[in-house]
A and B are shown apart, each in its own frame.
Chain A
Amino acid sequence: MSGILGMAHDAGMFTVHQTIGSVLCCKCGIRMQPNAANMCVKCLRSEVDITEGLLKRLVLVHCPECESYLQPPRTWVKLQLESKELLTFCLKKLQKNMNINKVKLVNAEFIWTEPHSKRVKVKVSVQKEVYHGAILEQSYLVEYVQQDHLCESCAKVAANPDQWVAAVQLRQHVSHRRTFYYLEQLILRHGAAARAVRIKQMDHGIDFYFSNRSHGNKFVEFIGKVAPVKSRSDKQLVSHDSKSNNYNYKYTFSVEISPICREDLICLPPKAAAILGNIGPIVVCTKVTNSIALLDPLTLKFGFLDAEQYWRTSFKSLLTSRQLVEYIVLDIEPVSSEITVGGMKYVLADAQVARVSDFGSNDTQFTIRTHLGHLLKPGDHALGYDLYGANTNDMELDRYKGYIPEVVLIKKSYEEKRQKKRGKARPWKLKSLNMEVDDKIKVDEDKRDAEYEHFLKDLEENPELRFNISLYQNNDYQPSEVGSVTDVDDGEEIPSVPFEELVSGLEELGLDDNANGEDSMAE
């Protein structure tokens, strides 16, 4: 009757108001509104306990060292007490049991327990259909007992803290450590060595130790992306369980970085020159990432060699930045207009230069072609390679019959102006990796310091070097005194790091990983 009335109502007809009558509960006889079971709620509850057969007491295996919980069979998940993830984790254990009993989970929440009580209490509300379609809801308490058990990784660490499974040996056979300083900053910024168990400084390189082969592999791939490398890997059997056929190995990755560095002068062997389109055998290396950028200073022609190509025709540099000599520019005349090559602007110019050591004492001058026409003015100091006076021991150079320039200028020198600023702190500073230094190797302290200072100067002068590195504000720096002294005869200032590039101290105060992470995201 009510169904028909419903339709009639929709059609706009007169309908009678339906009052729900009352019946007696079939068990206790009190008056109630009729429901699907026709029993009052109390009788229904007393009849049926829908929580019967559900789990009320469970075990959670917890590792006290790393605060993680065991997810069978072997995974350990890091979870906080009273967190949403822990709740999900606990409820998952109840799920199968609930499905078997055809009970639906409606609500769950934590009941507070003492942190040291090793109990986690969860109040769970469930619903189940009883009798003829009546749905009954009931809540009950589930108690989880926390059992302590060291997880495998913590157990291994506790047994032997120095244990490593993978080692990455990074080497570069050059006489300076500039590459490693730069790599150190890169690694810090990207957090590539976050999972290293130990870092050790070695002769001509650094060793990284990891507890897992995949961590080591990931690190090797990271290095492969930022430097031109050649790597090989080996493994050594440590132990062998013949019953379960488990083999434990130690893995070693040997990574060699190419010896070509920025600002090196190279005499290309004919094969390499051929790959690059026959650029003049004397080339300058302008940039080293995972490929080497070479610039011919006489013709402003550019070439790239990636890691594979380089190692096929492995050549060494002719002269390195240690052999840079200071020149003074007497006259300069641009020959070409400004050309952008490989992201950098160059102007080809003819210049008259003299070595600073010769200047004033004799008349030795050189007329050369240089690619630094955009930077140099008469009276400037520049650093370059002295091929006229150098004594090189290079087969390629001897074989080459064509024209070899006498001087190749590389960069402008700010040495004079730096003299005035000597001893003043910089407004920025760098972080460093936590490295062990091997006591057995003789370390020349002065040489190391000078190299580091050189690296910092490099950073100031070259903005593109700073691209991948985080520089932090130096809280000890006082800017006030500097201006007055140097103002007098400086036409130009020494290049310095603009303030916006510095990472503020506040970020540094937070977790170190956060700062690194933020920077890499900002990229």
Chain B
Amino acid sequence: MATRLKFENSCEVGVFSKLTNAYCLVAVGGSENFYSTFEAELSDVIPVIKTSIGGTRIVGRLCIGNKNGLLLPHTTTDQELQHLKNSLPDQVRVQRIEEKLSALGNCIACNDHVALTHTDLDKETEEVVADVLGVEVFRQTVAGNILVGSYCAFSNKGGLVHPHTSVEDLDELSTLLQVPLVAGTVNRGSEVIAAGMTVNDWTAFCGSDTTATELSVIENVFKLREAKPSAIVDEMRKSLFDS
């Protein structure tokens, strides 16, 4: 199910939050409304953690993670790192990396199996990403933009990309990511997809300017109508149990 909300009167929800299948990071706001919405939706299933990164609130754009791990930029303070390590479940590996392009959320987009990265990312970072997040890494551009992390958002079920993406590019990306992709917009025609929304396998949060059409597109491509959180969590529990 897709939810519409605002962070302190801004519709760019994907900037102030990071949602994965195992956890959710939320920025600290003046009022608790933002956090409570996430909590109401997610708290029975996954931990919702309030944090800042490097003293800033733009947590969604600075860090990148999936159910296997979380990568933080070098600007993260030690306290924040510690706080995150404490709050996150043990199977999530938290690592701080030294990378010139410190807005990792803008440079890398990933789900649990595949990641797309900025073309100028360091070789070492690429290896760390592959290792910590357990994904296959591809250097790509989306509709001619190198900030792949901003212009596309995808989960294990589907993905939404920049509206100006050509049909050939769409096919190519779809083959790489092995998920169905659609070109669309969020927040009333905004092209910066990942800044306007955040998504995991069973739920999505969009800015409140998102029109009904856009919402229906999102729900269709990410297959949010059929998804129930319990099925996925049961799977996770099973794997936990085993180890």
With a CB–CB cut-off of 8 A, which chain A residues contact B144?
Answer: 1-3
B189 touches A131 (CB 8 A): yes
- Interface status of A506 (Cβ within 8 A of chain B): no
A19 in contact with B214 given A38-B191, A132-B191 (CB within 8 Å): no
Q: Give bound CA distance, A247 to B183, whole Å.
A: 78
Q: Which of A19, A28, A29, A37 contacts B166 (CB 8 A)?
A: A19
A258-300 vs B, Cβ < 8 Å mask (1 yes, 0 no): 0000000000000000000000000000000000000000000
Determine whether B66 belongs to the interface, using a CB cutoff of 8 Å to chain A. no
User: How many of chain A's residues have a CB under 8 angstroms from any CB in B?
Assistant: 24
Q: At the interface, yes or no: B37 with Cβ under 8 Å from chain A?
A: no
Work out how many contacts link A and B, with CB atoms closer than 8 A: 68
Closest Cβ of chain B: how far from A130's Cβ, in Å?
10
A26-B213 contact in complex given A1-B141, A131-B189, C-beta closer than 8 Å: yes
Contact (Cβ within 8 A) B165 A26? no
Contacts A/B (CB < 8 Å), 29 sampled: A1-B140, A1-B141, A1-B143, A1-B169, A2-B144, A2-B169, A3-B141, A16-B168, A17-B168, A18-B166, A18-B169, A19-B166, A19-B168, A20-B164, A20-B166, A20-B167, A21-B163, A21-B166, A21-B167, A21-B183, A23-B184, A24-B214, A26-B211, A27-B188, A28-B213, A29-B216, A38-B189, A39-B188, A132-B190
Contacting residues of chain A (1-50) with chain B, CB-CB under 8 angstroms: 1-4, 16-29, 34, 37-39
**Interface size classification for chain B:** 20 to 34
* CB of B52 closer than 8 Å to a CB of A: no
CA distance A4 to B191 in the complex (A): 21
B170 an interface residue at 8 Å Cβ cutoff?
yes
The A contact surface, by secondary structure, is loop
For residue A4, which residue of chain B has the nearest CB? B141
- Per-residue 0/1 for A459-485: is the Cβ within 8 Å of any B Cβ (1 yes, 0 no)? 000000000000000000000000000
Alpha-carbon distance between A3 and B119 when the two chains are bound, in angstroms: 13
Q: Residues of A at under 8 Å CB distance from B?
A: 1-4, 16-29, 34, 37-39, 131-132
Neighbouring A residues of B212 by C-beta, 8 Å: 29
Chain B residues in 8 Å Cβ range of A28: 213
Q: Is the CB of B168 within 8 A of A26?
A: no
Please list the 4 inter-chain residue pairs (A to B) with the smallest Cβ-Cβ separation, ordered nearest first.
A38-B189, A34-B163, A29-B213, A18-B166
Residues of the B chain whose Cβ atoms lie less than 8 Å from the Cβ of A2: 143-144, 166, 169
Q: In the complex, A49→B240 CA distance in Å?
A: 58
Per-position contact with A for B201-243: 1 when CB-CB < 8 Å, else 0? 0000000000111101100000000000000000000000000
Minimal Cβ-Cβ distance residue in A for B217:
A24
Query: Are A23's CB and B185's CB within 8 A?
Result: yes
Chain B residues within an 8 Å CB radius of A4: 141
Q: B216 to chain A: which residues have CB within 8 Å?
A: 29
Contact B170 A21 (CB under 8 A): yes
Asked whether, in the complex, the Cβ of B211 is within 8 Å of the Cβ of A27, the reply is: yes
The answer to whether A27 touches B168 (Cβ under 8 A) is no
Measured CB to CB, the closest approach of chain B to A341, in angstroms, equals 89
State how many angstroms separate the Cβ of A9 from the closest Cβ of chain B: 14
Q: Are A34 and B168 in contact (CB under 8 A)?
A: no
Question: Which of B169, B170, B212 lies at the interface centre, i.e. has the most chain A CB atoms within 10 A of its CB?
Answer: B169
Instruction: Let me know if A24 and B184 touch, CB within 8 A.
Output: yes
